[in-house]
A and B are shown apart, each in its own frame.
Chain A
Amino acid sequence: GAVVSQHPSRVICKSGTSVKIECRSLDFQATTMFWYRQFPKQSLMLMATSNEGSKATYEQGVEKDKFLINHASLTLSTLTVTSAHPEDSSFYICSARQGLAGGRSSTDTQYFGPGTRLTVL
């Protein structure tokens, strides 16, 4: 159980284009999803927290107009990198936290997707 998928796994695009990355929880409902980026040989850096049906909360220094996040359902969140530039090239990882039935607080464990490697030429 607790499987999270991401699509696409790898994308190469030209500078100035927009790229959409999908994150899905396959066998559970995710009330909260998180988007991270990871540069080579560095740890995960949280970009934003996405709650189903509400606006995402962005970390300091992350441009919300550049990294658009939509969490339209309990199993799907999308990250759109708008007008991508070479410095946006990175490994983008989502994670999902399972919500408990009856609206009680969710668990602490986050389950990660396999990641999306974005290369902007």
Chain B
Amino acid sequence: EDKVVQSPLSLVVHEGDTVTLNCSYEVTNFRSLLWYKQEKKAPTFLFMLTSSGIEKKSGRLSSILDKKELFSILNITATQTGDSAIYLCAVRRSWGAQKLVFGQGTRLTINP
């Protein structure tokens, strides 16, 4: 059975800190891994990763995938209170399987 595990489940830091969120997976015929940010409503897309070792970057957020060790990390530097959200990791298998399998999410709280 496909499995996506995120850690930590909850994290509280001070504004300005750097955080690293983890996502490990066990998926048959892995194709891609996606990161989403969920605030009060539906998730918004952050990154899609398909190749190992290539860092994707958007402002203070960056992410990288390790297909050998079956995990990905999401880094947020110089955190701001607006970064407070649930961060979801999801994976998709190759050919035929269209659905995403989501992890439990990491609830990140940034205190001023």
Contacts and interface: CB of A to CB of B under 8 A. Distances in A.
Contact of B103 (A32, A43, A108): A43
Contact of A49 (B32, B44, B99, B104): B99
- In this complex, the member of B34, B44, B48, B102 whose beta carbon has the largest number of chain A beta carbons within 10 angstroms is B102
B43 A109 contact: no
A42 B104 CA distance: 6
Contacts of A106: 98
Contacts, number: 50
Which secondary structure dominates where chain B touches chain A?
strand
B88 interface: yes
B33 to A, nearest CB: 9
Interface string B68-88: 000000000000000000001
Contacts of B88: 43-44
B104 A112 contact: no
Contacts of B103: 43
A34 B43 contact: no
Contacts of B50: 108
Given A32-B98, A42-B104, A44-B88, A114 B48 contact: no
B45 A43 contact: no
A65 to B, nearest CB: 21
Interface residues of A, number: 22
Interface string A108-121: 11111111000000
Nearest to A112: B42
Contact of A44 (B31, B43, B92): B43
A42 B6 CA distance: 12
Nearest to A113: B42
A97 interface: yes
Interface string A78-121: 00000000000000010101000000001011111111000000
A46 interface: yes
11 contacts: A32-B98, A43-B102, A43-B104, A43-B105, A49-B98, A108-B32, A108-B34, A109-B34, A109-B45, A112-B36, A115-B41
